[in-house]
Structure formats: C-alpha cells, structure tokens
Amino acid sequence: MQKYILAIDQGTTSSRAIVFDGERKIAGVGQKEFTQHFPQDGWVEHDPEEIWESVTWSIKTALDKARAGAGDIAAIGITNQRETVVIWDRATGKPIHNAIVWQDRRTAGYCAELKKDGHEPDVTERTGLLLDPYFSGTKVKWLLDHVEGARARAEKGELAFGTVDTFLIWRLTGGKVHATDATNASRTLLYNIGTNQWDDSLCALLDVPVALLPAVKDCADDFGVADAGLFGAAIPILGVAGDQHAATIGQACFEPGMLKSTYGTGCFALLNTGTDRVPSKNRLLTTIAYRLDGKTTYALEGSIFIAGAAVQWIRDGLKLVKHASETGPLARTADPSQNVYMVPAFVGLGAPWWDAEARGAIFGITRNTGPAEIAKAALEAVSYQTRDLLEAMRKDWQGDGDTVLRVDGGMVASNWTMQFLADILDAPVDRPTILETTALGAAWLAGMKAGVWPGMAEFAESWARDERFEPQMDAETRKAKIAGWDDAVRRTLTSQMQ
C-alpha cells in the first residue's frame, strides 16, 4: 500500500487537512470554517474546542476523499496560525479561556508602556521582534492576569501554554506531548533566536512562568504519536512549522535571497537570509525561517495583518459580492479615472508601520464611487502593502541580484491581482502549480523525516511554476499610484493625527 502524508493546516478562519500521495500530489482535502469572535473593538478570539473539532472533522473528511485509512499515513505534518495563544489545564486538557488570536490588539497599551520604559531594543536583540500586541507573550500575560486563579495555577505547573500547533499536538497525543517547534517559539516574545532557548529575562519581563512553556524541537522532529483511538491507527507526528515558515519551505525558498509572499487572511513576506541573522533597520522582523538537524536558517519578515480579510469584509460586511472569487471580475469593471485607496488597518497596521491604534480608511470617494471601485481598492491595497515590505527588505538585505517573488495563498488565483502586484513592484511574480504551499511545506517536513519523501535538494528541483507575471505598467503611472497610496497611509497613521 502506498504511504501517504497528512498535512494539518490550521488557519485563522478555517482548518484544512490535506492527504498527499507518494508523488506529492493532493489525494484528498477536508476543510471547515469556524467562528470568529469579536468581544470588543480590536479583540479577536477563537474557541479552541471548535478549532479541535474542525481539525478532526477535516482529517476524517480528507482521509475519506483519499480513500485512505489512518494505517496508510506515514506521518503527520502540522502548520498553524502563528502567535495565537491557548492556555489549558494539564489534567483535563480543557482551555481556561478562548484563544486570543494573532490579530487581537487588547495588549496595545501594555506594549506601549514597555516601549516607553525602554525595553524594546533589548527585546528586539533577543527575539528579532518588536513590542507589538501581534505577538504571543503579552497575550499570555493578559490571560494570566484576567482569568481568575490562572496565575497561581500556572506557577504551580497546573496549566500549559501553547500556540495552536502545541494545543493540537497535546490533543492528538492524548496529553503525552507538550511541544512546539523553533519557528512558532520564535514568535512568542519569549524565545531567544540567538541561543535557541526560552529566555528567562524575557519571561521575567512579561511575567510568564517558565513552567507554562512547551519543549522546543526542530521543524522535522519527533512530536509524538496521534492516538490510535482518534482515526483508527496510531500516526507519528514528524513535522511542525508556523504557517509562513511552512509556506517558505513549500515554495522551496532554501537559498539566501529567495523570497515568498503568502496571501491569506493577512499577507506575509519572508526573505531567506541563510545563517545570517540580519537585524532590520526598517521595522521588519528577524525570525527563524526553519531549523533542521539543529541548524537554524533565518529570515527577514514583513507582516500585513489584513489581505484576504478585506475581501472577506467586502463579502460578509458590505455584502457587495456573494463569493470572494467575484471580487476580481468586479474590480475589472471599475472606473479607471477614479483614484480610490483603501488602507485596511482594521486591526492596526503591521510592517513597516507598526501602528496598533490605526484603523481602516477609504480615500478618494466621489458620488460616482460604487462597489467596483471599493473592490478594486481592496485588492490593490494588498499590492501596495507588499511593495512597502519589499522596499524595506531591499534596504536591509545586501544580497546580490534581483529577487523574483514566489507567491501563494488564496488570493493569488486572481490573475488581475497578480498582474497589478507585478506592475506595482516593477518585478516578476511567480505563481507555482501547487498553491497549497503551506500544507505542502508541513507535509515535506513530515515526509522527509519519515523517509518517504525526498531531501531538500530534490524537493527544491520539483518546484514548478504555473505562470510568471511580468510588469506592464509604465513608470509614470506607477509613480503616481504609489504616491497616492503613500498619502493615504500617512493620513491613516495615528502619529499623523492631532
């Protein structure tokens, strides 16, 4: 019987499971959306139990569609929404509160206090990150401070913290394994990416008991075995990486200077910098791209909080379309004489601005502005934000030659959006044949560790391009459009407001 690999892709709005066959082709997919909770302005939560239910449902569905049993699966690879925080009871496995999602901004005031007190330079030196509510550490502190009895229980070792990968590993192994990988650990504000260890001084700064923290492993490692009672047979868990790191692997960006950008709920661009830990002078993040066989590869990362989520808002909030796929065709019908800009700062602005208090705005509206112009502005905003990230990366990275951007995620299926991206970047954009690169990266980690998938070099050679988008816009038009975007962002930043 052919051995399959199961990838669990636990995202921000849905959970997906994909069964890959021995040729690394998709044999079966299961996907289930789950509820987004918004208790207050700027707060975003998920129910961990609903996440768990969506994951198990997706796995069973994917196995059924692949006509495979659990015994046919050689290994599981997990990739997940990063920075989202779950704390649960070690005895019962039950969460003490809803998960606080990476988009959540409730700790913005605390982050501002830490910055004011001068802590950010040291935090950045140790973690490569900035003091922003995006990251996990301040969310952990909030839960310990606001859930009755949580801090005392945490200090006694009764509670466990994890990003979503860790919570899933705990549940899959029946509570036998409390572990994460280096990529997810690197996003917590608690992990020193130089020493590759939890940092006692950072834990003290954020008042997080070390007893809460999971063990940190390589991305391809032994994360225990999924209990046989769940799916019919025991399955080893051999690969784990945060979603953006898994996409970097799935895009085979293994050489320094290679660049990928993923367009999902948000947009995240990672530039492989090899063994060089490049400090950013332009408000980017220095992060762990992946860690294999104890060797750490670093990356520069730019994070955009709202990309596909803006399309989702147009569909669900404004109800301008019934399906997200309609946004591109609608944008094509927009009046080209209107210069409408959407700055989708629904939960603040990420890199390179890092303004947690900024909120979304639309500029340039006239009486003639309608659904088509709004849809066009939302799609264009993703390209403008990507350009901001890449310009910052060019200033930080002193590598040789021009870099071709490899793209993936749901939004890249739109030819219109990808062409505009190439036009605004004034650079080629490559779309791969397999768009599920996040799941593919997690699957490769597990399959390679299990010995049923090839090593890095052969996997990289198998990467295939579906289409290359070359820039077609003239320089004068590009310059004018970018100037309009820059003006819109300036008007949105809270630092510019009186």
Question: pLDDT by residue (tens digit) across 340-369?
Answer: 998 888 877 777 787 877 888 999 999 989
Closest among 205, 485, 173, 140 to 339, alpha carbons compared? 485
The answer on whether 30 is annotated among ligand-binding residues is no
The answer on whether 498 is annotated among ligand-binding residues is no
The answer on whether 384 is annotated among ligand-binding residues is no
The answer on whether 12 is annotated among ligand-binding residues is yes
DSSP 96-143: SSPEEPTT--TTHHHHHHHHHTT-HHHHHHHHS--S-TTSHHHHHHHH
In this model, does residue 497 exceed pLDDT 50?
Answer: no
In this model, does residue 173 exceed pLDDT 50?
Answer: yes
Rounded Cα distance, 464 and 111, in Å: 42
pLDDT tens column, 278-287: 888 888 899 9
pLDDT tens column, 278-317: 888 888 899 999 999 999 999 999 887 777 778 888 888 8
The answer on whether 403 is annotated among ligand-binding residues is no
Rounded Cα distance, 226 and 409, in Å: 28
The answer on whether 82 is annotated among ligand-binding residues is yes
The answer on whether 366 is annotated among ligand-binding residues is no
Task: Identify how many contiguous H helices and E strands the chain contains and give both numbers.
Answer: 17, 23
The answer on whether 83 is annotated among ligand-binding residues is yes
Residue type, 172: L
The alpha carbon of 338 is separated from its chain's Cα centroid by a whole number of angstroms, namely 33
The answer on whether 477 is annotated among ligand-binding residues is no
CB 481 within 8 A of CB 471: no
The answer on whether 293 is annotated among ligand-binding residues is no
Q: What does the mean pLDDT of the chain come to?
A: 91
Instruction: Tell me the whole-structure pTM to 2 decimals.
Output: 0.85
In total, the chain counts a number of residues equal to 498
pLDDT tens column, 128-146: 999 989 899 999 999 999 9
Crossing angle of helices 243-250 and 437-450, in 10° steps, is 80
The answer on whether 14 is annotated among ligand-binding residues is yes
Predicted pLDDT of residue 498 = 34
Q: In Å, how far are 18, 56, 373, 437, 447 from 464, measured between CA atoms?
A: 19, 31, 34, 11, 19
In this model, does residue 65 exceed pLDDT 70?
Answer: yes
Token code pair at residue 462? 């198998």
